[in-house]
């Protein structure tokens, strides 16, 4: 293989397809087993049938370019359909009924880009106000996604982070105290990525509305599962566009929508606000150029796959998958809560949560359990993979429908490993909490 695949340079001669694909198989040897349900991060599985239609739909559009939908009108139609379906799930009908807006939005490449676009739109809204804001800031809890820091850096918007409460939810008083005349955006999460809790969205939105500023709900994690958990009666909190004062919201189709990476949707309560997102120019020799999101050229495959999965699953399919995920999360969470020395962080609202060793109490017969040692031992015992995060030291679990078949096995391993670590007091040498890498 060395001669066929030299390092760091283009081969002098091309290889046949079987050789290239075989080499890719070799490269994947150390990748985590997400299809077997052992990975609790990054990939969301709804089963082989869904993966098959995703692949088939994507292959139909492997070469097309969503930069210009006049050339490929089918892509424009599918994008519009995805946005419209998502708007219907996230409260647009209530907005129309209340007469408080006419929801519009766009596709992006993922949650990070949706949060970037929401921040940029808020910045531009501040600049266009009656009293232009030249040094804008946004107020959010320390649980708000790291992508908001990227947005702050890219768009010169000050990020004002405030501590969460003991329940890991945004602290309303702290948020209120951080707002000033230059604040253009208040952020809430539904749920937050680190601990899976839904922030007090109605109160945050009211706070923003009272001050005449925008409020974004980051529902990238929850946008395609919370509506169905709501229909099933598992979640009753209000968090979407139906909440007065929420002016924008983001939801990732490639998470609990089980679409291909990467498709996300960002929605705005009004078309007027939505019109601040696109970039349009004719200041070059190539003619009018317009782009609704960060990228120019946009892969068509994920758009096609995202549209296909929405219509393949339908509401009943998503209800089934949401119930499967909910049941799996309950099984795993139950094993954590029953194991002496372990604890779930806060009180998660859906199927995302963090857990680890609880602080050692005076007089307790249970030894302290090192959280990262727990992760290492679970990996050694069953090949289970969890992201690490801190503070506090935690293992992060994104539980989806694909975990229903293995939840009982994981629960048994958690029980066994917790008992072993409580007795041995073993600690992990590696304290790394890297989430994203180059």
Per-residue pLDDT of 314-343, as tens digits, reads 999 999 999 999 999 999 999 999 999 999
- The tokens for 302 are 């994920």
Structure tokens at 292: 């609704």
Q: Can you state the angle between helices 407-424 and 371-382, rounded to 10 degrees?
A: 130
Coil, helix or strand for 124? helix
Q: Which domains does the chain have, with CATH numbers?
A: 60-310 (3.40.640.10), 314-424 (3.90.1150.10)
The Cα–Cα gap between 164 and 172 comes to 9
Average pLDDT over residues 250-271: 96
Taking CA atoms, 78 is separated from 71, 84, 309, in Å, by 14, 10, 12
Distance CA 306, CA 32 (A): 24
Question: Is pLDDT at 10 greater than 70 in this prediction?
Answer: yes
In the predicted model, what is the mean pLDDT of residues 261-278? 96
- pLDDT tens sequence across 80-136: 999 999 999 999 999 999 999 999 999 999 999 999 999 999 999 999 988 899 999
Decide: 413 and 354 in contact? Cβ < 8 Å.
no
Nearest CA to 344 out of 329, 358, 327 is that of: 358
Residue 302: pLDDT band (50, 70, 90) is very high
Contacts (Cβ under 8 Å, ≥6 apart) of 153: none
Helices 407-424 + 300-338 axis angle, to 10: 50
**Token pair for 167:** 């329940």
User: Tell me, what's the pLDDT at 50?
Assistant: 96
Q: Which pLDDT score is estimated for 67? A: 86
Q: Which residues contact 288 (CB under 8 A, 6 or more apart)?
A: 280, 281, 282
**How far from 109 is each of 58, 200, 253, 265, 306, CA to CA, in Å?**
15, 27, 10, 9, 11
pLDDT of residue 250: 98
Q: Which two tokens stand for residue 289?
A: 């150029």
């Amino acid at each position: 293989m060395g001669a066929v695949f030299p390092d760091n340079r283009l081969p002098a001669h091309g290889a046949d397809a079987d050789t290239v694909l075989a080499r890719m198989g070799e490269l994947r040897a150390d990748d985590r087993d997400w299809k077997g349900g052992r990975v609790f991060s990054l990939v969301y599985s709804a089963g082989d049938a869904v993966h098959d239609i995703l692949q088939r739909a994507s292959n139909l559009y492997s070469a097309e370019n969503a930069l210009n939908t006049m050339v490929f009108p089918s892509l424009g139609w599918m994008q519009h359909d995805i946005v419209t379906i998502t708007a219907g799930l996230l409260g647009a009908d209530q907005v129309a009924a209340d007469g408080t807006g006419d929801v519009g939005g766009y596709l992006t490449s993922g949650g990070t880009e949706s949060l970037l676009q929401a921040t940029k739109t808020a910045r531009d809204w501040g600049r266009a106000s009656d009293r232009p804001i030249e040094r804008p800031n946004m107020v959010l809890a320390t649980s708000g996604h790291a992508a908001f820091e990227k947005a702050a850096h890219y768009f010169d918007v000050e990020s004002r982070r405030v501590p969460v409460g003991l329940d890991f939810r945004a602290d309303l008083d702290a948020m209120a105290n951080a707002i000033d005349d230059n604040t253009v955006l208040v952020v809430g999460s539904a749920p937050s990525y680190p601990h899976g809790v839904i922030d007090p969205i109605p109160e945050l939105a009211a706070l923003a509305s009272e001050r005449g500023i925008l409020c974004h709900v980051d529902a990238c994690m929850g946008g395609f599962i919370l509506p169905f958990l709501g229909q099933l009666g598992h979640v009753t909190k209000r968090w979407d566009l139906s909440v007065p004062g929420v002016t924008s919201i983001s939801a990732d189709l490639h998470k609990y929508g089980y679409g291909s990476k990467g498709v996300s949707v960002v929605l705005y309560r009004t078309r007027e606000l939505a019109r601040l997102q696109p970039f349009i120019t004719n200041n070059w020799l190539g003619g009018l150029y317009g782009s609704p999101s960060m990228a120019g050229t946009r892969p068509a495959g994920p758009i096609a796959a995202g549209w296909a999965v929405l219509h393949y699953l339908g509401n009943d399919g998503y209800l089934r998958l949401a119930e499967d995920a909910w049941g799996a999360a309950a099984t795993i969470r139950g094993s954590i809560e029953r194991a002496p020395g372990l604890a779930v962080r806060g009180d998660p609202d859906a199927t995302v949560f963090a857990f680890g060793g609880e602080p050692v109490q005076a007089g307790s017969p249970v030894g302290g359990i090192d959280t990262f040692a727990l992760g290492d031992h679970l990996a050694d015992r069953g090949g289970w993979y969890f992201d690490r995060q801190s503070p506090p030291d935690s293992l992060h679990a994104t539980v989806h429908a694909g975990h229903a078949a293995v939840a009982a096995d994981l629960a048994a391993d958690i029980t066994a490993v917790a008992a072993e670590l409580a007795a041995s007091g073993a600690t992990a040498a590696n304290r790394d909490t890297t989430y994203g890498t180059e």
